[in-house]
Amino acid sequence: MSNLKNILKSSTWKLIASCCQLFFKIKRWIFTYFIWGRNGNAPTDILSVLNTISLIPLLGRSGKRCLIHWSIHIEEPKNIFLGENVRLRKGCDMTGMGQIIIQDNVLIGPRVKFYTNKHIYTDISKSILAQESVQGYIKIEKNVWIGGDCILLPNISIGEHAVVGAGSVVTKDVEPYTVVAGNPAKVIKKIGDQIAISKST
């Protein structure tokens, strides 16, 4: 087992993994624009498994039973840490300039955007391109469900068993056992309240 870990961490394996990721980027472009069309669906099971395997040596951490869709776009994978049984659906965009930490049993819907860096724009004596960006983090705790087309902005934590409604823009922390939705995302209800009501009826 230790020999296998050493192989996965070796520079040769990382080179092979990087080549695999380049292959997936080219394949993703070909499939998207020439075969399935922009809104089409490719047969994903085998491709996603291969994509997940090729990402293992590149990610900061990847737990057991993760599945990363082949169409996902990742920058700076070394700053992305996945727990066990994480599901990342098609079209997600993960900008790992800062840290992205996703704990166990998390479901990420399609086309969710993770932005960990914030661009400075307040110095009017400089062009926007000349101003620096500040790295932040995104932390998602256990048993969270993020709906499709959400945008997660830097320096937020999403607590255990929280649900983020589809299309939401998350700009601040989400408390555990909370359902949020909207732009910006606001509390819709507490999951614990729903459980209490169902028990009393």
Residues assigned a catalytic role: 119
The helix, strand and coil proportions of the chain, stated in percent and rounded to the nearest 5, come to 30, 25, 45
Q: Are 198 and 185 in contact (CB under 8 A)?
A: no
How many Å apart are CA 113 and CA 148, to the nearest integer?
Answer: 9
Q: What is the torsional sign of CA 57, 63, 66, 69? A: negative
Residue 182, by phi and psi: left (phi above 0), alpha (psi -120 to 50) or beta? left
CA gap 3, 1 in Å, rounded: 5
